Structure 1
């Protein structure tokens, strides 16, 4: 593969996708030139100011407005404020020559091949030979877009289809043209994976490529089934969300957010462009879609779709649900299915799915109809849209936020058993599935010697999934590579003398089993000569915090000695992590809150997925961080002091982040908030986090890891700092930004983070601060309002401000 470096990218087109693609390249430190058209006429404001079409601000108005709109959007397209400075703006007329200085040109203009060709003609004039040129098209054939272009252009031209929003959705489809150099394909696949953090999937140049072809089919086929079975909007969204490993927005809410018109356009395009597709009629709109399209009820963009926000007679916001028979809005329906009740306490998706599909009720029937249809359809798309089945799974899972792809799901249900049930339901899969079973192969995937293998259809054998050789995949290690386990944690041998401790409680909340796992893992590593430990998992969240249920029970029974012991054990475990004789690295992603944050901060380093959301949020349940979190923030602020620094300012930032339960919205914000030390690093691709954390362990071990001694040199401010922060607490309470209980918690925090009742700044030990933490935590756990907050989180899943 040719050695390329991407220092600067030009993004042509600043619409919803273009501006956000530009932002994501800025996220990874690449300079971006974002261009769009010159306005054809002045706005009323510009005319009133006496500006002309030649004024630079007018000529760049479209692109500048688009970038501003993107930066204001939620969720944010950038990792942290300031990153947008890497994006410079301009217009096609004045600034196209600047693309001669970039390494990659990405076209993101309107989905019209004639307009794209005009843009490419301009690009050809100024692009330097060898520069990558790609299109973010979602469906226009790549082979048609490069017609008439030079040999160098077509050799370096490819489709790169990002999914919206580009920062968050993991999929990047790479679609080569007929003359694209293999070197270019290889580079884009690697760059998308490692640098952009994407599930980079190689696609054939077929209508809608892979993800939209399968994903939109699943939606439209599902809509036909919904109409046939007479299900309600609420019932369907209950059945098609997290319950089966899909996005929380499920089916109808997703269509409202994306825009029904978008789904309709893609579906219509597929129906027209797939004359030989055996299921093309499923792309025809059923009435429950066509009726809304005719009425232009396209969802959020038109203020109504399958759901509608309104207000009741008291002015309270209410969400109404569309009746799919009368097309009138009414109260949201509550879905009640025996199948759902049967799995409500089961957090394991792989265990839930067989129960749901085999259940003899309306939910089970719906699942069988939709799942069997998708299995059949996907099997028939090979080799049309992909030669290998894993590409379909990767594209659909990453593009549509499915936890498991179609073939992975089929495996869980049993391939042979499911084929028999499909046949009985009139859904016969492709011939190659029967050939696979006849050859004695019973699954599409299998794990062997730490590797993930897939069934290769042409050779009728199993091959390693490309790109996974360098990954650490815990699913491939279950069995012989398990060193130790209990119901809440598993310790794996991940190779090269490194262990990985995985949590598998609900939301990976930390309780006694997890703490036992941490202590046991360190003891095994130290006693048996392992090089170090990674603490990480492959689930959505690193840890949502400490298990509150036990605390709530003890607090209600006023068992304060038990609470004291519980917190002391947590603190002791955190210090065991910090002062072990082997390196310990946290591999974080998703939520790392409360105790999860404290555990991460006590590790030697954090290897954070870019989308890690970390914070000390105990104030939300009426407490302060007492697992070493408050101590650790005081320690880190103390270490950051330099001669002449305004010490109070740095400490106040730490105090406020805890007092307001602030959560970092990216790994880059984690660094700014003090959660990541100098040894910590960021990984863009979620799949690579554990492997990168393992590398950090090996690096530390190779350098001669030395066990540290507990600190006794933490500078705290005493009464002076307390007095300053007290004024702020009183001010927030006076302005009604903090309730009386908020203020009480903040004062407890103030006391601890400043080192207690000391007459002057002083140096204290870690244990001194840990004792203050525990005392404050204990006193707050006896407060009625704290118990109310904990109760609200446990039983309602909602924070309470009281």
Structure 2
């Protein structure tokens, strides 16, 4: 059988979703044809220009405006702005014949069956047999769209449901039609995981599929609960956010972002099409929602929803919340619950659930009601929406950003305890849950031999979750493959002579325990293994050095200790580069300050596409002191070409640090000189990152890795560069762009990157630059204003300009 490849896709419909999908295909290097309808009338600008309906600019106006508006949306739908060039736009009259040259057609038009059928009629005239054709519907049954289509069309047709925004939400539901071939389903499943970076979930053709069926149930039951329990919008968002491993936007803020109309549309669809759902009445919209829709309070797109930004008379702005009883906006009050206080010392959300459902305040009552409803509901959806329970968990984690799925949460509080909560609310779980307990299975999931198993209902035994062999899952091997650990770091054996170092400190900050872990991992790898990966699977790789520790030493003026601590940090980062084994660093999410310095010293970086990386030390009043200032100087020197204006090159690298630039994707990190083209690689699916990093460590080891030699040939420009930088910072202060203290920090950095005030360009060693960097860092730690900045960051998490 010939291998199916996707070089070009056509996306039909350029609305928010269509443009988002087109841009995500562009992200992964695929050529895209984006088509939409032709306008029926001219707009004012076109009339003024004297254009007619026949002009190409007019005919492609809808598609071009939609794409432009998507590109400008925040957060950015593309990894790099140049990727937009991979998209060609057109319209459904002049350009539809071009679909004959694509490998996959994705329909994303309005959710009306009659319109979709019309579009399919047209596409079928031009589609090459064998081409994949899928619909991104979120509610129309696939079997209805199949009707009247040719056999080849039906065989290659199914639903592929992306979640919005397609770049950031990982769920990719694949919904077979009555005639979809197995080859197509297998291909899409693998393509979603491997190329699109998604969690592919095979769903059944039931209303709202898996993610939205369970997700909308969760939101609707909250809508009914809020009034019943007398909770405010802010209180619910506090209870349903990061404390339980959900996104910061929690419930109501998420609805504002997604749009209340979208939610209502799906909820109504479930209400109409699932008459036998035992929670049918919950999908009926409460009065306050109907009123909000009537008032067009749909969220961010209409300027108000559950929250509204108000401008006060004094020019300040305030975010107010909707009072669901009076439907008037009121100031938000800080939400405090005793039960939440009890979980403050518990790092992982999964470990907090037993404490939360035990609370004896309003929060405890809320969680007992909430989880009872959710547990009963998901147990009763099997086999209706899925035969396997892990697919429901996968869909909720990938589509709604939950850290743990409903069955994982149920496991964490105990299956029997969950059944008690369900009973207490007068609800009923599905019979299979009691049968599971009776068969001797006490949990929905178990981990054995480094793999996750789930309870398979028909066979009544634990079965291995398929597809995990492509991944390394640290949760599954943390204990069984542990080589060493301290309080802040642990080392696991990944097999094939490669070990992994994982950080376990708060927010993965790099303090003494993590540095000890890096040194220990390199020692071990040099003696007994072939290579080392530094990677973890927390939500962020690391927010950088432990500034609390630096603050304590500086505030107590323990400068000798501080000097030794910085030297220890520098030496550890340098060991990452100059060890006798390959070291691969695998950053993802926030990878700031010291984490960025460590990445820059790896033999290779295997970064997740969603990596937000940069040297942000200026924000706390210092310069990068863990070899980052040195490394940027080295990289600038390495890019000096003959006849280059060397000062300009150096200035670019200086500004990257001075403006604390953070790349908003791994691809942007190439532009900042943080990642290096031809050496470092990007992985779109974060779940595959560690397996990929291990592969690269092995490749380097097997190719005969030799320890690099420390550099002594770095060209620094001395007085010439220093003079330019100092004039620049003077002008910035004079123009009120930076404060006096900003100038002080910038001048210290200038001194390091110029290599000091040498009278002419000179070749120096890395050690020389490291000493300059450390002196500059230390002297800034003696400044009161730097300490104020560090203290402000520790208290508020935000930089202070003083």
TM tier, smaller: over 0.9
Whole-angstrom CA distance in 2 between matches of 1:115 and 1:247? 35
Say whether the 8 Å CA contact 1:2–1:187 is kept in structure 2: no
SS in structure 1 at match of 2:440: coil
1:116 equivalenced with 2:116 (yes/no): yes
Match of 2:342 in 1: 342
Q: May I ask how many residue pairs the two structures share in their alignment? A: 801
Match of 2:716 in 1: 716
Match of 2:653 in 1: 654
**Unaligned 5+ residue runs, structure 1?**
none
1:563 equivalenced with 2:562 (yes/no): yes
Match of 1:551 in 2: 550
Match of 2:363 in 1: 363
**1:119-138 superposed matches below 5 A:** 119-138=119-138
Match of 1:152 in 2: 152
Partner deviation per Cα, 1:511-550 (whole Å, 9 max, x = no partner):
000001000111111122x111111111111000101111
1:603 equivalenced with 2:602 (yes/no): yes
Whole-angstrom CA distance in 1 between matches of 2:561 and 2:422? 55
Whole-angstrom CA distance in 1 between matches of 2:704 and 2:475? 31
**1:179-198 superposed matches below 5 A:** 179-198=179-198
Whole-angstrom CA distance in 2 between matches of 1:470 and 1:37? 41
Match of 2:208 in 1: 208
Match of 2:783 in 1: 783
Match of 1:103 in 2: 103
Match of 2:631 in 1: 632
Whole-angstrom CA distance in 2 between matches of 1:82 and 1:469? 34
Match of 2:496 in 1: 496
Whole-angstrom CA distance in 1 between matches of 2:87 and 2:368? 48
Match of 1:242 in 2: 242
Partner deviation per Cα, 1:712-737 (whole Å, 9 max, x = no partner):
11111111122222333233223322
1:331 equivalenced with 2:338 (yes/no): no
SS in structure 1 at match of 2:566: helix
Say whether the 8 Å CA contact 1:227–1:286 is kept in structure 2: no
Whole-angstrom CA distance in 1 between matches of 2:601 and 2:637? 16
Say whether the 8 Å CA contact 2:369–2:421 is kept in structure 1: no
Whole-angstrom CA distance in 2 between matches of 1:727 and 1:664? 28
Match of 1:285 in 2: 285
Match of 1:535 in 2: 534
How far the C-alpha of 1:783 sits from its partner, in A, is 1.2
How far the C-alpha of 1:285 sits from its partner, in A, is 1.3
Say whether the 8 Å CA contact 1:232–1:333 is kept in structure 2: no
Match of 1:391 in 2: 391
Match of 1:218 in 2: 218
Match of 1:669 in 2: 668
Match of 1:314 in 2: 314
Whole-angstrom CA distance in 2 between matches of 1:672 and 1:699? 26
Whole-angstrom CA distance in 2 between matches of 1:438 and 1:428? 17
Whole-angstrom CA distance in 1 between matches of 2:25 and 2:550? 44
Say whether the 8 Å CA contact 1:321–1:333 is kept in structure 2: no
1:37 equivalenced with 2:8 (yes/no): no
Say whether the 8 Å CA contact 1:605–1:676 is kept in structure 2: no
Dislocated runs of 4+, deviation >6 Å: none
How far the C-alpha of 1:648 sits from its partner, in A, is 2.3
1:644 equivalenced with 2:648 (yes/no): no
Match of 2:171 in 1: 171
SS in structure 2 at match of 1:366: helix
How far the C-alpha of 1:7 sits from its partner, in A, is 0.9
Say whether the 8 Å CA contact 1:307–1:321 is kept in structure 2: yes
Whole-angstrom CA distance in 2 between matches of 1:356 and 1:288? 28
Whole-angstrom CA distance in 1 between matches of 2:448 and 2:345? 32
Whole-angstrom CA distance in 2 between matches of 1:287 and 1:706? 70
- The 3 A distance-change label for structure 1 pair 506 and 296 is same
Say whether the 8 Å CA contact 2:510–2:544 is kept in structure 1: yes
Whole-angstrom CA distance in 2 between matches of 1:115 and 1:493? 55
Say whether the 8 Å CA contact 1:2–1:183 is kept in structure 2: no
Whole-angstrom CA distance in 1 between matches of 2:432 and 2:47? 66
How far the C-alpha of 1:642 sits from its partner, in A, is 2.6
Say whether the 8 Å CA contact 1:211–1:399 is kept in structure 2: yes
**1:451-600 superposed matches below 5 A:** 451-528=451-528, 530-600=529-599
Partner deviation per Cα, 1:207-266 (whole Å, 9 max, x = no partner):
000000000000001111111111011111110000100110111111111111211111
Whole-angstrom CA distance in 2 between matches of 1:728 and 1:691? 46
Whole-angstrom CA distance in 2 between matches of 1:549 and 1:746? 23
How far the C-alpha of 1:2 sits from its partner, in A, is 4.9
| TM-score under structure 2 length normalisation | 0.99
Whole-angstrom CA distance in 2 between matches of 1:424 and 1:345? 29
Whole-angstrom CA distance in 2 between matches of 1:633 and 1:561? 26
Partner deviation per Cα, 1:262-316 (whole Å, 9 max, x = no partner):
1111111110110111111110112332332232211122221111111122110
**Unaligned 5+ residue runs, structure 2?**
none
| TM-score under structure 1 length normalisation | 0.99
Comparing 732-741 with 209-218, greater Cα deviation is found at: 732-741
Match of 2:271 in 1: 271
Partner deviation per Cα, 1:329-367 (whole Å, 9 max, x = no partner):
111021121101111233221221211111111101000
Match of 1:23 in 2: 23
